[in-house]
């Protein structure tokens, strides 16, 4: 099969012939039709310090995908050949304390598809049946390819009640944009998104945000005044990882404010912990998706809301055939648009 392949510990990838993966007794083989490009994939392609300390080549990266089941193992019970699916990219042990308690997203032995084992930048990918998500009929293949990051957005957005609340989202990358659409769908009063990219802020407005604030020239407090808010924001989603984002968010939260933090900080954050204590602020770390309540929530929300489907379609701004993967990676690395999807159906 053809695959985007990392042969050794050096920058770059190769579109090369690789052995087709074998299907174990509890596994499902999927013919890949679409893949999304994630920040993790950019790290692997660039072979930066994180990749060098995490990845063991040779490996096929890629963990955001949509495809068709073409083979199942002898012990597979609930997934059928011909099903259209995506996959949960975190493979858990099933036996640690968290797994046994049903908190599989907190497994201490998690292995990641496309990071610790071969992934989906290929004609075929094999994952355990327990990681397969079967889609409802008629889902757009491009949306199916971004269920993994959409799950990050939904996990973040549904961490706290949102109905009637004022929501601040720092970072208008693809996941922040999707979180804005979810917050609007769920029933938030005001949704404000911050970034320094005007194209992304405009996309945030199109996806349902009340305001897109360019923090290179406008303070968040000014956004509150524009909206006529008398108190601070109730809920914050920190999506950027920028060291200045969380302190600015905390400054603009109401007493009892709650923060769901998905962005990975690029350096240490100097936070006013006295304010966190005296304002009784909750900060919750988010990683991946809840298995599998998040998948249920995002699938049913998309089935029930044409408006949400339309908003999420806007977040996919670039599409390329898989053979033009270098252009796709360049578009993703530029950081001015939304999600980039590679089409494998023509290979």
| pLDDT on residue 340 | 97
Backbone angles phi, psi at 302, to 5 degrees: -70, -40
- The DSSP code sequence of 306-346 is HHHHHHHHHHEEEEEEGGGHHHHHHHHHH-SSSEEEEE-TT
Identify the CA nearest to 176 among candidates 263, 51, 70, 83: 263
Dist CA 344 CA 347 (whole Å): 6
| pLDDT on residue 256 | 98
Dist CA 138 CA 160 (whole Å): 31
Question: What are the sequence ranges of the domains in the chain?
Answer: 2-150+289-343, 160-285
| pLDDT on residue 161 | 97
Identify the CA nearest to 115 among candidates 6, 269, 276: 6
| pLDDT on residue 137 | 87
Q: Give the 3-state secondary structure of residue 5.
A: strand
| pLDDT on residue 335 | 87
Four-way CATH pick for 2-150+289-343: 3.40.190.10, 3.90.180.10, 3.30.1370.10, 3.40.1180.10? 3.90.180.10
Whether 23 is a known active-site residue: answer: no
- Burial of residue 321, with CB atoms counted within 10 A of its CB: 0-12 exposed, 13-18 middle, 19 or more buried: middle
Q: Is the pTM of this model over 0.85?
A: yes
On average, the pLDDT of the chain sits at 96
How far is residue 208 CA from its own chain's centroid? 19
| pLDDT on residue 267 | 87
| pLDDT on residue 314 | 96
Tokens 């360019």 found at: 214
Beta bridge partners of 166: 190
Active-site residue identified among 35, 43, 63, 185: 43
Dist CA 277 CA 275 (whole Å): 5
Four-way CATH pick for 160-285: 3.40.47.10, 3.30.450.40, 2.10.109.10, 3.40.50.720? 3.40.50.720
Whether 282 is a known active-site residue: answer: no
Dist CA 301 CA 281 (whole Å): 29
Residues of the chain under the 70 pLDDT cut: none
Radius of gyration of the chain measured on its C-alpha atoms: 20
Give the model confidence (pLDDT) of 171-211 as tens digits: 999 999 999 999 999 999 999 999 999 999 999 999 999 99
Active-site residue identified among 40, 110, 156, 170: 40
Residues written for the chain:
347
| pLDDT on residue 336 | 87
């Amino acid at each position: 099969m053809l695959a985007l392949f990392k042969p050794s510990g050096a920058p770059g990838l190769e579109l090369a012939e690789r052995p087709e993966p074998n299907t174990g007794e509890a596994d499902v083989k999927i013919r890949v039709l679409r893949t999304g490009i994630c920040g993790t994939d950019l790290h692997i392609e660039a072979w930066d310090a994180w990749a060098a300390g995490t990845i063991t080549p040779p490996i096929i990266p890629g963990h955001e995908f949509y495809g068709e089941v073409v083979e199942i193992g002898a012990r597979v019970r609930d997934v059928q050949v011909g099903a259209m699916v995506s996959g949960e990219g975190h493979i858990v042990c099933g036996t640690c304390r968290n797994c046994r308690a049903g908190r599989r997203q907190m497994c201490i032995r998690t292995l990641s598809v496309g990071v610790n084992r071969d992934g989906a930048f290929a004609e075929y990918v094999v994952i355990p049946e327990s990681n397969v998500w079967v889609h409802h009929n008629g889902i757009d293949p491009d949306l199916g390819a971004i269920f993994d990051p959409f799950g990050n957005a939904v996990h973040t957005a549904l961490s706290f009640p949102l109905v009637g609340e004022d929501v601040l989202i720092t970072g208008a990358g693809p996941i922040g944009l999707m979180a804005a659409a979810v917050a609007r769908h769920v029933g938030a009063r005001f949704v404000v998104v911050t970034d320094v990219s005007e194209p992304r802020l405009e996309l945030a407005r199109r996806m349902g945000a009340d305001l897109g604030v360019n923090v290179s020239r406008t303070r968040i407090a000014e956004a509150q005044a524009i909206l006529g808010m008398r108190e601070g924001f109730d809920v914050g989603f920190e999506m950027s990882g920028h060291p200045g984002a969380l302190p600015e968010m905390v400054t603009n939260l109401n007493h009892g404010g709650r923060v769901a933090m998905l962005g990975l900080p690029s350096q240490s954050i100097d936070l006013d912990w006295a304010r966190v204590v005296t304002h009784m602020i909750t900060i919750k770390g988010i990683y991946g998706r809840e298995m599998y309540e998040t998948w249920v929530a995002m699938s049913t929300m998309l089935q029930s809301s044409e408006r949400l489907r339309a908003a999420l379609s806007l977040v996919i701004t670039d599409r390329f055939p898989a053979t033009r993967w270098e252009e796709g990676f360049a578009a993703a690395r530029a950081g001015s648009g939304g999600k980039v999807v590679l089409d494998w159906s023509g290979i």
